[in-house]
Structure 1
Amino acid sequence: MTVLHNPVLRGFAPDPSLVRVGDWYYVATSSFEWFPTIPLHRSRDLSHWEYAGHVQGAAPGDSLAGVPDSGGVWAPSLSWDGERFWVTYTVVRSVGTPYFDLDTYISTATRIGGEWSAPRRVASHGFDPALFHEDGRLWLLNLQNDHRPGGERFAGIVVTELDRDRLEPVGDTHLLLQHDRLIEGPKLLRRDGWYYLVLAEGGTGWEHGVRVARSKELTGPYELDERPLLTTRDDPDVPLQKAGHGELVETPDGQWLLSHLTARPLHTPQGRRCTLGRETAVQAVTWDADGWPRLRQGGWHPAVEVDAPTRPHPLPPPAVPEDLSWPWSTLREPPDPSWADTTARPGWIRLRGRHGPESRWAAGLLAQRVTEHRAEAEVTVEAQPVTFTQAAGLVLWYNPEAYLALDLTWAEPEGEPQRGQQWGSTAGGRTVLVLVERDEDGVRQVAVVDVPEDGPVTLGVTVEGADARFWYVRDGVRTAVGPVLDFGRLSDDHGSRLRFTGAMAGIHARDLVEAAFTADFTGFRLTCTPG
């Protein structure tokens, strides 16, 4: 047996879809507005996981330009038909409107880390689709939406048979189940003559859960289990909260597992805050005498430690990437040498300034996931900004309405007021570090520190729970910049708008006028400490 410690994928790894092929377990997770699209991980023992690539090309044209925050690629469903991997997912282009404005796609690959076929659009009833393979037939499951005034946004689960080659509908779409509580994210399996629907229930927040229904016929009617398979909605003190969006998988020896998303909240004066986003966990499952799945430990609360029916199979530590591959991520497009170059100065990353941090089109940002409540990031930056429209530095990022940044930039001579951009070589000014915080009320300049005009400076930030303290190093001396800032704002739970991702730490650069200013970065380090 292997003792696994949940979450098994830590920090921003939501909506896991788990599949077993031989001795390997593979999981796909949501990427939303971030690249790489649909990260894939693999494990032999469910405890030790490694990055296994991503579904390259999942965003048609390799662009999610303009998609809203927490839009983009939602809830991929990974499956295996005995010959190749399939993935279906939705690109969501509206968030918080009556209309879903989305496109559902299917892509396939013979190897998990191999080349994926160009995505093909299929019937797009809603988000969080799944595929079911049976006797050479292919079925697409989804939810449906009634966008009309008075209609139900989550109006039931539907299934459509698809031609395996053309991916076009075969026959009618069937309504499988409607429920008075929100249900979505359907997964389908067959066991002992029953078809089981595994459903995400109650939304993706504190009310989240997993509910199961079953039928003797694939197209229904389905009866709901009277109790949830998994939820934490009844107990805010369970360490793993928001448990839901599950998928059942059978092991080689006939035992069962449940993958699901979860979150580890901080308890702050402002309430519970999930700064790490939603993560991936695994539970052990048994079947009761009536044929319903149950958590092996009893009840419906997720366990932090689980005895998995596998033998330990540790993996070597991941290599430090020499390029901008995983664990680096970028917003709405993959990294491109035209603005993120690792060859211009060996051992450094050169970022060209692009749009401001609130752009949905051309963000000059590279970031990595924060995976623990204790973390420290640092980087050395060298740049020579000559106007306030140019800046580069270290950032803690959630979205354009929630970030903290320490940037190297230009300011007027001390004591002079802001007078817009200064032109000509006699404009004067000084090189400064500016600490800013952004929330739904706007951007605030927290602190300004003078630094020499030339030479590199090391920037850093230390995160302890909901506290973030920025600092810089010059001549070997670490100096704090500004007060402790509220890292809890960089969470799924702050503010009134839907948020589905997680906090990131990274580097960024902007040049709002010429788009030509460059900054060089080296020695980026993000250390996340469990505790």
Structure 2
Amino acid sequence: MLKVKNPILKGFNPDPSICKAGEDYYIATSTFEWFPGVQIHHSKDLVHWELVAHPLNRVSQLNMLGVPDSGGIWAPCLSYDNGIFYLIYTIVNNNGHIKDTHNYLVTSSNICGDWSEPVYLNSSGFDPSLFHDDDGRKWLINMKWDNRIGKNSFAGHLLQEYDEQDKCLVGPILNIFKGTDLGCSEGPHIYKRNGYYYLMVAEGGTSYEHAVTLARSRKITGPYEVHPQNPILTSAGSDMHKLLQKAGHASVVEGPNNEWFMVHLCGRPLPETDRCILGRETAMQKIEWREDDWLYLSSGIDNLPSWEIEINNNNKGESNSEEIDLVSQYDDFENASLDINFQSLRVPAETFMSLTERPGYLRLYGKESMFSKFTQSMIARRQQNFVYCAETCLEFEPETTLQLAGLICYYNTENYYYLRVSTDEELGGKCIGILASINNDLSESMVQDDNILIVDAERVYLKVEVSFGELRFFFATNKDDWRPIGKVYDASTLSDDAIKGSWAFTGAFVGVACQDLSGMNKYADFDYFSYVEEA
């Protein structure tokens, strides 16, 4: 037996959509304002997962200039039919009560290859999904967003046929399911088995009341009856620090030996808090079909998620569930492209960086401020463990106070901790300090007069150590002479649960950044970047 310890995709990897192609399994997850869009992980055994692709890597597929924090890509759906991968996704352009939600389809015969130009589908809601029926017909379903004041915004699930030849939706639009009393019905997926159409949706909202609802019908158009023990998965009301939390937004797949599995969104709050600094992650549960043709969790423990499940692999070996899978990344920027774990904000990294102008260095050209929702110059990766250390080496000669570069721990434009190098004539030249923004409040930053002069340092080493809820910066002008700088900060502010006044659906990142608010495109060179997780 293979033992699987949850979560299977650690760090910010929400809204999982799983599919099978031959003997291969793939999971697509949301990326929101991070570019390139959509993460796709691959596995041969449902145990070991590897990030293999970001399919939306061109502006013609994904234009996010100006989208709000936690806008952009919502809840992609990945499916496979007759040798072709289909990826459906929403681009959300604003965060008001009246939403602009545009749904698109791209295809590819190679999941790691080039994907097609997008086919526009509709804008009636978000979380679209494509169902391939066994009669050859294809159907699009998405939640309906009702922008009328005083109405239920989560207004049901719209079904319409997709004409693959003409690349458009055809026929009537039908609202086939209005949801249950759990509310916030979204994230629909359709499956078919034994003559039933099964509709799986997320309900309860995407936080601690999250849940998975299942309904079925003999006709794809309904009417749908709800599972007798609904919801079939939730962690609502459970002990926050003993079970996976926020369980919901699921999809299912048939695995080896006719076993079935559900992947779903989850969260792991910091001890003694309700804050999930790793964002919404992906977990997996074993499920089973019973004689009544309904799905149930195989654990038999009500509808609660399990920390660990087993997969029958025909005695081909065992996986030790006690092993801690820690990530270590070192990038010396010698390659022609960035490590796949790096992403940029809203725009392609190629618009503000170079790996060739100075071989062996990442050169970032300074762009807009950390508050910008347009062109930020930042390369960052997900925080995937509660304890880690990240480090870089910077060469930067700022000419004005409007030029900054350094190491950043980032959640969104209003929440970050930034160890940055700049210059200040009144202090005497090049200096280092910390910008701290907590819900757009900068009062925790180092005051300018407390910045430390590093006038003669050509190279500056920057480091951050994060341990659960504590975050501490260090710097050095000689590699082994690390000095702490600033206070110990509250790492939990970099979480969905700490954000006020705006959407919060992502997770904590760590990376490097450069700003030039003078507009002169001053560059900074980074010699390396390392990220090492610790138990």
Offset of residue 273 of structure 1: 0.7
Which amino acid in the other structure matches residue 295 of structure 2?
P
Q: Is the 8 A contact 2:12 2:279 kept in 1?
A: yes
What displacement does 1:308 show?
2.0
> Equivalent residue for 1:172?
172
Q: Distance in 2 between matches of 1:410 and 1:230?
A: 54
Render the CA deviation track for 1:190-246: whole Å, top value 9, x for unaligned: 111111111111111111111100111110000111321111112123431111110
Counterpart for residue 388 of structure 1: 401
Residues 213 and 34 of structure 1: CA distance in aligned 2, closer, same or farther (over 3 Å): same
Name which of 226, 229, 234 aligns with 2:237: 234
Q: Which residue of 1 aligns with 2:526?
A: 521
Secondary structure of 1:443's partner? coil
Using the TM superposition, give the Cα deviation of residue 457 of structure 1 relative to its aligned residue in structure 2, in angstroms.
1.0
In the alignment, which of 482, 486, 492 is matched to residue 490 of structure 2?
Answer: 486
Aligned-pair distance for 1:29?
0.7
In the aligned structure 1, how far is the partner of 2:295 from the partner of 2:17? 18
Aligned to 1:112: 111
1:313-332 to structure 2, matched below 5 A, reads 322=335, 323-332=337-346
Q: Which amino acid aligns with 1:412?
A: E
Amino acid in the other structure paired with 2:247? A
Who is 2:472 aligned against?
469
Aligned to 1:190: 192
User: Which whole-Å CA distance do the structure 1 matches of 2:318 and 2:376 have between them?
Assistant: 39
Superposition RMSD on alpha carbons, in Å? 2.0
Distance in 2 separating the partners of 1:166 and 1:319: 47
* Alignment map for 1:201-350 (pairs within 5 Å): 201-226=203-228, 227-235=230-238, 236-268=240-272, 271-298=273-300, 299-310=302-313, 322=335, 323-336=337-350, 339-350=352-363
> Residue 132 of structure 1 aligns to which amino acid in structure 2?
F
- Counterpart contact for 2:15–2:249, Cα < 8 Å: yes
Q: Aligned letter for 2:129?
A: A
Which residue number corresponds to residue 415 of structure 2?
402
Question: Per the alignment, do residues 483 and 57 of structure 1 end up closer, same or farther by CA in structure 2, a change over 3 Å counting?
Answer: closer
1:342–1:498 CA distance, 2 compared to 1 (3 A): same
- Partners of 1:350 and 1:317 in 2: CA distance: 23
* Contact 1:59/1:91 (<8 A) preserved: no
User: For 2:274 and 2:288, how far apart are their aligned partners in 1?
Assistant: 32
The correspondence for 1:449, drawn from 431, 452, 462, is 452
Percent identity over the alignment is 37
Q: Secondary structure at the match of 2:407?
A: strand
Q: 1:45·1:313 contact (CA, 8 Å) conserved in 2?
A: no
Aligned AA (2:499) = G
- In the alignment, the residues of structure 1 paired with residue 495 and residue 456 of structure 2 have an alpha-carbon distance, to the nearest angstrom, of 35
Residue in structure 2 matching 1:507, options 494, 508, 512: 512
Match of 1:51 in 2: 51
Q: For residue 30 of structure 2, what is the amino acid of its counterpart? A: S
Could you report, residue by residue, the CA deviation over 1:323-368 in whole angstroms, capped at 9, with x for unpaired residues? 22411100001111x5211112221111111111111111010001
Q: Tell me how far 1:318 sits from its aligned partner.
A: 8.7
**Alpha-carbon distance in structure 1 between the residues aligned to 2:99 and 2:533:** 36
Cα gap change, 1:86 to 1:61, in 2 (>3 Å):
closer
Secondary structure in 2 aligned to 1:488? helix
| 1:137-152 equivalences in 2 (<5 Å) | 137-152=137-152
TM-score (norm 2): 0.92
Q: Is the 8 A contact 1:57 1:119 kept in 2?
A: no
Matched letter for residue 375 of structure 1 = Y
Contact 2:235 2:243 in 1 (8 A): no
Q: Is the 8 A contact 2:59 2:348 kept in 1?
A: no
Hey, what does 1:421 align to over in structure 2? none
| Aligned 8 A contact 1:433 1:450 in 2 | yes
Match of 1:163 in 2: 163
Tell me the SS of whatever aligns to 1:519: strand
2:85 is aligned to 85
User: What is the match of residue 417 of structure 1?
Assistant: none
Counterpart residue identity of residue 291, structure 1: D
2-structure distance, mates of 1:61, 1:291 = 40
Is the counterpart of residue 200 in structure 1 residue 202 in structure 2? Answer: yes
**2:55 partner amino acid:** V
For residues 26 and 438 of structure 1, what CA distance do their matches in structure 2 show?
Answer: 37
Q: Give the superposition deviation at 1:443.
A: 1.9
Q: 1:10 maps to which residue?
A: 10
How far 1:121 moved relative to its partner?
A: 0.6
| Distance in 2 (alpha carbons) for counterparts of 1:499 and 1:257 | 28
CA distance change for structure 1 residues 204 and 312 in 2, over 3 Å: closer, same or farther?
Answer: farther
Once the two structures are TM-superposed, the CA of residue 35 in structure 1 deviates from its matched residue by 1.1
- Matched letter for residue 278 of structure 1: R
SS state of the match for residue 188, structure 2? Answer: strand
Runs of at least 5 residues in structure 2 that lack an aligned partner in the other structure: 320-324
1:372 maps onto 2:377 in alignment: no
What does residue 322 of structure 2 align with? none
Q: Report the Cα offset of residue 41 of structure 1.
A: 1.1
1:73-120 alpha-carbon deviations (Å, 9 max, x no partner): 11100011122010111000112x222201100111111112211011
Secondary structure at 1:60 match in 2:
coil
Shift of 1:252: 4.3
Tell me the amino acid that sits aligned with residue 90 of structure 2: T
Distance 1:402 1:325, change over 3 A: same
Q: Amino acid of the residue matched to residue 251 of structure 1?
A: G
Would you say the 8 A contact 2:329–2:530 is kept in 1? no
The CA deviation at 1:57 is 4.5
Matched with 1:434 is: 433
How many pairs does the alignment contain?
A: 512
Task: Note the alpha carbon deviations across 1:252-301, whole angstroms, 9 max, x for none.
Answer: 43210001111111134xx3111111111111101233222111112211
Output the amino acid matched with 1:128.
D
Change (3 A) 1:517 1:318: closer
CA shift digits 1:367-409 (9 cap, x unpaired): 0111000011110101111211011000000001100011011
Correspondence for 1:422: none
